[in-house]
Amino acid sequence: MKNRRSLVAANWKMHKTVGETVSFLEALQDRIEAYEDREVVVAPPFTALAAARQAMEGNKINLSAQNCHWEEKGAFTGEVSPAMLKDLGCDYVIVGHSERRHLFGETDEIVQKKTASVFAHGMVPILCVGEVLDEREAGRTFPVVNHQVERALDGLNCRLVPALVLAYEPVWAIGTGKTATPDQAQEVHSFLREKLSALFDKTIANKIRILYGGSVKPDNVDALMAQPDVDGLLVGGAGLEVDSFQRIVQYRFPGE
């Protein structure tokens, strides 16, 4: 049994109105319990964050934003600051998602600034790293994620690091129907934990939760979660429907 509390997060991306968000959360909360061994997180769009927080009852579900700016305030039209997200009651912020990197040109430097700023405002970053298909086929997965982790965590206060959530999302498996096999996911997660040990120490590395993200579905969740270094999941499309997300949240280990 893993000694890290797992985390299952639904990243809704640009989906769901306020009303749809409230309906989803009300239905999900009726179907799940407040787990001791796993944490459930949803990441609605900015427009639905306030309503989502109001709709959440007790401690069954925690709230994440999908992105933020790194500055607390300023002349940044269209951006949302960490201070604003904290004010709304966000617990987490997704940082460095592949769509932010590849569609919106976010650099490693920007991801590092956001990671530090999220921590500085009392929230926890869900830091995403991962390789594209060309990099995977060229055998460059490890160098790519190694570089991304090094840059994102550069200068980060060691006292904050154990709370970090790291998410490995192979870009070639996001929204494509392709999924890294459980062994492939474990291989990269194990590498990432060793990298964290080298950057900080083994004790810190063993506290950090590493999620897998990339076409996670009800039919592959159990095998993925059975891997020793897979501490949770960052779910895309399957997190938009209550039935499928409920099954993912209620993953089972072999023999259960």
* Closest residue by Cα to residue 114 from 131, 127, 101, 130: 127
Whether 241 is catalytic: no
Q: How many CA atoms lie within 13 A of 125 on its CB side?
A: 29
Q: Could you tell me which of 18, 13, 71 has the C-alpha nearest to residue 49?
A: 18
Gap between the Cα atoms of 107 and 101, Å rounded: 6
Integer Cα distance of 205 and 166 in angstroms: 11
Catalytic residue among 69, 99, 169, 189: 169
Measured CA to CA, the distance from residue 254 to residue 256 in angstroms comes to 6
Q: Which of 97, 99, 121, 131 is catalytic?
A: 97
Please state, in angstroms and rounded to a whole number, the distance separating the CA atoms of residues 154 and 109: 9
* DSSP H stretches of helix in the chain: 18-31, 49-55, 82-88, 98-103, 108-120, 133-137, 141-152, 182-199, 202-205, 221-225, 242-249
DSSP 239: G
3-state secondary structure of 176: coil
Please state, in angstroms and rounded to a whole number, the distance separating the CA atoms of residues 142 and 155: 22
Note if 121 is an active site residue: no
Rounded-to-integer distance, Cα 97 and Cα 109, Å: 14
Instruction: Transcribe 177-207 into DSSP letters.
Output: S----HHHHHHHHHHHHHHHHHHS-HHHHTT
Query: Which sequence positions are flagged as catalytic?
Result: 97, 169
